[in-house]
Structure formats: structure tokens, C-alpha cells
Structure 1
Amino acid sequence: MKNYTNSKRRFLAAALAAGIGMAAAGSARAADESLNVLIWGVTWQSAIKDISEDFTKQTGIKVNLVTQASSGDGLAKLQAMRSRPTVDVWFTTASVATRSVSDDQLFAPLPTEQMPHLKELPAGAATSHYAAVYSYPTSIIYRTDLVSEPITAWADLWDARFRKKLAMPAMGMYQGRLLMAAAGQHGGDPLDEQRGFAALEALKPNVVMFYGSDAQARQALAQGEVAVLVAPPSQGKRVADAGLPVKVVSPKPAVMNFDVMMIVRSGKEAAAAKFIDHLVSAPVNEEIAKRLNMSAVNVKSAQPEALRDQLPRPEDIYIPDEAVINERIADWLDQFNAKIVN
């Protein structure tokens, strides 16, 4: 009887241990069946929400959207949780992503063998550590009721007819894209900063504001304080949606911008890779672009109908090296403040 009792006790103990182990494993699996995605506010979250729900239906992985005020704010949040990240996927700009990839403790490389749709992205839209979710050119947006002759080239903005009619992005907006457009307007090297700053100095009589806020610039165009705005096409759509006549053109060099996704080392890298690959797949990427009025990056995706006559021709596109921009932007800011603003 004693041996039976001891055997029974050992069996119960083993069963209890196994039960605890299975419960722990179940809890771990349950925890793994979700992703926290750090992304900007309402506009972006509204675009991603339904798509995330479709991803959940397909994979069983729930997606929680977490708000960041800006890419810089998002990076600060991630660095603060470095020892135990609670974010799995991060949306940011290509420029901030390029500065961040050296942080190997926080960010994981993309497992390309598990992400077949990365092969459908053009050169420059994906690197070892990030993949673009959409792109957008630096464009010229103008009120057709305030501009009598069509604008077809960057050089048009230097014409005297635009004296005190332009709103241009400050150097910190869009990482110096205006400087690159100015430098490359006649076929020159967009990274020829000496040429670019000389062109911006010559442009000053035509500029009402070098803006630091998209909302400020849109309001100026909507109220007729300026007739021309240099900004992404999405800004033109917002003004047009208010009932005002605008046209958007993206002449050569059409300096491109990418918003991208990165994988955080949270222990859920495989699920994060699956989510990113889902978002860059052709039909999903097409839907994201449509909702945000951005340019799809998957080469198999159709571009939003509203954008088709606003996007640059492929031969006019210029994709800058973000690492080079990051090396130079501080000096560009200093020169811009000294030579152009003051």
C-alpha cells in the first residue's frame, strides 16, 4: 500500500507540474498572439486599423495600435523601454530609421527569407532593417485661381511673377528636400549644397514663409496668403477637400520620402516580420496608399487614382541616401538659419 501511495503521489506531483507547465506555455502562446505597433495618430491609425483586423483574421495575431506624436517621440519611447520592449513594430521615417539601425540591442534585421513580398519593393524602399510602407514626392501645389500660367518645373518658382507668393518647407521639414530640389533643378547634383543654397538665396524675394508646420502651410494656401506650396501631394488633397481649386505637380528632380517599418527586439520578431510582409503585399499596400493618399511602394500595386497625374515619372525620381542626409543635415540647418532665414 505504501508503494502504491508513493507512486500515486509522484504521479499527482508530475501531473501538477505538467499542468503548470502547460498553463505557462499557454499563457506564453497567448501573449505571443498579439503585436503592439507604434504609429502616428488618427490619420495613420484609421488607415491601418481595418487592415490589421484582416491580418488578425488570417493569422490569429491581434494588432494593438500605440500612438506616437512623432518619429522622435517614438524613438525616445523605445529607448526608454530598451531592457524590456513592449512594442513589436515601429513606424517611422526613413531618415530616423537610418539613424536607428545601429542600435542592435533594440532593432532586429528583417528576416528576408520569411518576407517574400520584400522582393516586390523597388531599390531604396527596403534595407537590412526597414521596409517602406509608402512613399511620397516633394511636390509643387498651387491654387489655380491664383496662378494664371501652369507650373511645370522647379525653375518656374524663381520667376518674378511669384514674388511673395511661395510657402516653402524649412530645412528641418522633410530632411532638406527643398535644398535638393533647388540644387538639382537644372540637371545638377541634388546633393550639391553650395549650388542649392545659392539657389535658395535667389529665391528669397518670392518666399512668404519657410514653414515648420504642415497645418500652418495648408492654412496659408487655403486663405490665399500664398499661391504656391511645396509639400507632399497629400497636403494638396486636404486643401482640395475644402473646396479650393489646386493642382499638384512633381517635376524633376522629384525627391522622394519613405515612411517605413522596423522590427523591435521584443521576442516577437517572427510575428512582426509576418505583419510587415503583409502590409507590403500588393493588394494591401495598394489599399494603404489609397487611404493615406500616398504612393504605393509595391511595384505590383496600382497607384491611387487621385494621385496618378500628380506622381513623378519614374525617370524623374530621385531617392536620396538617408545616411548621407543624416551626416549633413545639422550643417544644412546651420547654413539655412544663417544664410536664408536671417
Structure 2
Amino acid sequence: MNIKSLLLSCGVLLAASPAFAQAKEITVQIWGSTWENGLMAISQQFEAETGIKVNAVTQSSSGEGLVKLQVERDNPSVDVWFATNTIASEAAQDQKLFVKIPQDKLSNRDQLIKGAMSEDWVGIYYYPMGIVYDADAIDVPPTSWEGLWKPEYKGKIIAPAMSIYSGSLLTVANIINGGTSENFDPGFEALKRLNENVSLYYTSDSQARQSIVQGEGTILIGQSSHMKAVAGEGLNMKMIAPRPAPMYFDVMMMTNGSHQEEAAKFIDFIISKTAQEEMLARVNMAPVNRNVSLPPELAAALPAEGDGIVMDGAVVLKNISEWSVRFDEIATR
């Protein structure tokens, strides 16, 4: 056999060999802190079990992430997008970019808690926005949202900017001051007064955690993963979620990409009991799989029955641009 025939023969053998088959993979777009603190390790477990490699593209917020996806609407490179449920519900109207969840391919769907799946998205975990505080640094701990306006908290509060958590702080301020979904003026007037007590407005979860660890405040308006992460730095962190506590699902959506079968397998893996237990241990978020037990400290941080509220995604989308302008005027004073 001559060299040419030998190479052709080897080429045929190599092409036919499963060991040299092209590896399956998906790309997910996710918040950097969520990826590093939880999903990266869980994705490695998924890869070990299925042989499907998971690549990550990071985003600082759901809104910023959606803009990235829209740029490549005609040929998405991302297969699974992570977002808050409020942003996801509105983003789903883009039926060219996103596809419906193939629920018949999710073997773990019957284990989900109520509200954890829609036709457009599947929840990863859920959490309330609440008040996280350093119990060793505060003489009188806050017991309600209204208490944050007390003068003794001047310069001690780290609060979310309008660009993160879909205006949750504004929504709380508006409700407790008599506002409505059509009139947010009472909320903005309350935020003007609260501004005296705010030392910093954060735009990412990592900035929120870093700020309180560095002593830029002793009270963080945030969620349960903040409590766990900051406690890991040696601070005695506590959390309450008083009424009205904005409730969120962080969710997964599927794009109209070229790896939809693999994407569905990934989503199904993430909502499995094993992956949900791992996620709970790593990020301290309430699991969407009802077969996972809550640790006492997380159960205590969740709002009492009836105290949680779900923000209207349509109202947020309609008003967020105007809210951002008005908020910036307050925050820069």
C-alpha cells in the first residue's frame, strides 16, 4: 500500500472512530457570580455525566444580557440564557430569538414547586429581596422596611441601583408609602429621603458583597445568597424578608440555537434533586425542586406566607427607562 492509500485509510478510520467524533457542547449566558459560586461546578458534573461540555459567557445583569443576545438574533451562539423571571417573561415575546421550553423532555418537571415553570422559562431557584445586616455592627437591628428610614442608619445602607433587580427597592418604597402600579411618585419621594442613609448603590451582586465586607455599610438590601457569601468572610450576617418582600425566580430560557437537544438536557439536569441540593449548598437560594429540604437559616430568611409579592414584568418593562432617569437624579445628589 502506498503512502497516499495508507493516509486515506487512516483518515477513514479516524473519521469513523467515536473517539474522534466532534464533542457536543452548549454555551450558557449567566451572571459571573452565579457561575463562579455555583453553576460552574454543577455544569462540570453535568459534563461528566453526559459528555456535553458547558461554556459560559458572563453578563452583569439580565437587561445587559438580553441586549447581547439580540445582537445575534439571526444566529444565536448562546443556547441557554439565565435571567430574572420579570425580564424573561417580556423577552419571551421575541419568538425569533427564543423557543418554548420542551416540557415533555424534562424528566424532572413533576418535581418542581408551583410557579417554577412557564412555557417560556424554567426556574433555577427562587429568593426574596430583603434586609441583610451585620448583627455585630448594629445596636438595633431593622425589623421592617419602614425602619430603614430611621436617622440612626445614616450612611449605613448599601442598596441596589435601578439597573439590578428590576426596581425592587422602588416597588417596596412605593407600596409602603401608598403608591400604586400607575403612580410611583410616592416611591420616588421616599427614595429621596432614604438617600441620606445610603452609602452606596450597587450594580452587581459581587459589588454588593464586596462593599459590605469592606465596611462601606452594615445593612445590605439584597437576597439570601448575599447573606451566605458575606457570612463566609467571617461576618455575623442575618436576614429578614418583611412584607412586602419582592419575590424572584432566576430562570433559564432556550434560544433558537443549534444545540436545543443538549440545552434541554442541561435544563433538566439543573432542576434535578441532586443538582438543586448542590445549588442550595453553594448559593443559599431556595430550591425549585420540592424534594429538597430547606436548612433552618434559609427558611428563617424567607418571608412569611402572604408577605411576598411578585412584580409585574409588563409594568417594569414599560417604566424602567423613566425610572432609571429619575433614580439617577436621586442617587447622584
TM range (shorter): 0.7 to 0.9
Q: 1:67 aligns with which of 57, 60, 67?
A: 57
Write the mapping of 1:1-342 to structure 2, written as runs, cut at 5 A.
Answer: 33-41=24-32, 43-45=34-36, 47-56=38-47, 58=49, 60-70=50-60, 71-72=62-63, 74-185=65-176, 193-339=184-330, 341-342=332-333
SS of structure 2 residue aligned to 1:148? coil
Give deviations 1:105-131, integer Å, cap 9, x for gaps.
Answer: 221101223325334444543322111
Aligned-partner residue type, residue 244 of structure 1: L
Deviation at 1:267, TM superposition (A): 3.4
Calculate percent identity across the aligned residue pairs.
37
Contact 1:179 1:190 in 2 (8 A): no
Give deviations 1:247-287, integer Å, cap 9, x for gaps.
Answer: 21111111122221111222332332232122113332232
Give deviations 1:129-163, integer Å, cap 9, x for gaps.
Answer: 11111122211122223321232111111222223
Aligned-partner residue type, residue 253 of structure 1: P
Give deviations 1:72-107, integer Å, cap 9, x for gaps.
Answer: 554455344444434322223334423422222221
Contact 1:88 1:269 in 2 (8 A): yes
SS of structure 2 residue aligned to 1:142? strand
2-structure distance, mates of 1:259, 1:280: 12
Aligned-partner residue type, residue 54 of structure 2: N
2-structure distance, mates of 1:226, 1:258: 27
2-structure distance, mates of 1:213, 1:278: 27
- Note closer, same or farther for the CA distance 1:97–1:305 as it changes in structure 2 (3 Å cut): same
1-structure distance, mates of 2:256, 2:299: 38
- Note closer, same or farther for the CA distance 1:269–1:167 as it changes in structure 2 (3 Å cut): same
SS of structure 2 residue aligned to 1:309? helix
Q: 1:3: which partner in 2?
A: none
SS of structure 2 residue aligned to 1:258? strand
1-structure distance, mates of 2:257, 2:331: 44
- Note closer, same or farther for the CA distance 1:185–1:303 as it changes in structure 2 (3 Å cut): farther
Q: Taking structure 2 as the reference length, what is the TM-score of the superposition? A: 0.81
Contact 1:289 1:304 in 2 (8 A): no
SS of structure 2 residue aligned to 1:314? coil
Count residues with an aligned counterpart.
320
Contact 1:45 1:65 in 2 (8 A): no
SS of structure 2 residue aligned to 1:266? coil
Give deviations 1:207-265, integer Å, cap 9, x for gaps.
Answer: 33333344444444334442322112222333322222222111111112222111122
Deviation at 1:341, TM superposition (A): 4.2
Q: Structure 2 unaligned runs (5+)?
A: 1-11
Deviation at 1:329, TM superposition (A): 0.9
2-structure distance, mates of 1:213, 1:35: 25
Q: Structure 1 unaligned runs (5+)?
A: 1-19
- Note closer, same or farther for the CA distance 1:322–1:126 as it changes in structure 2 (3 Å cut): farther
Aligned-partner residue type, residue 197 of structure 1: F
2-structure distance, mates of 1:168, 1:231: 7
SS of structure 2 residue aligned to 1:104? coil
Contact 1:165 1:226 in 2 (8 A): yes
2-structure distance, mates of 1:247, 1:42: 21
Aligned-partner residue type, residue 66 of structure 1: A
Give deviations 1:36-59, integer Å, cap 9, x for gaps.
Answer: 33333365256234433444455x
Q: 2:4: which partner in 1?
A: none
SS of structure 1 residue aligned to 2:300? coil
- Note closer, same or farther for the CA distance 1:144–1:42 as it changes in structure 2 (3 Å cut): closer
Q: Taking structure 1 as the reference length, what is the TM-score of the superposition? A: 0.79
SS of structure 2 residue aligned to 1:315? coil
Contact 1:180 1:191 in 2 (8 A): no
Contact 1:181 1:190 in 2 (8 A): no
| Structure having the larger proportion of residues in helix | 1
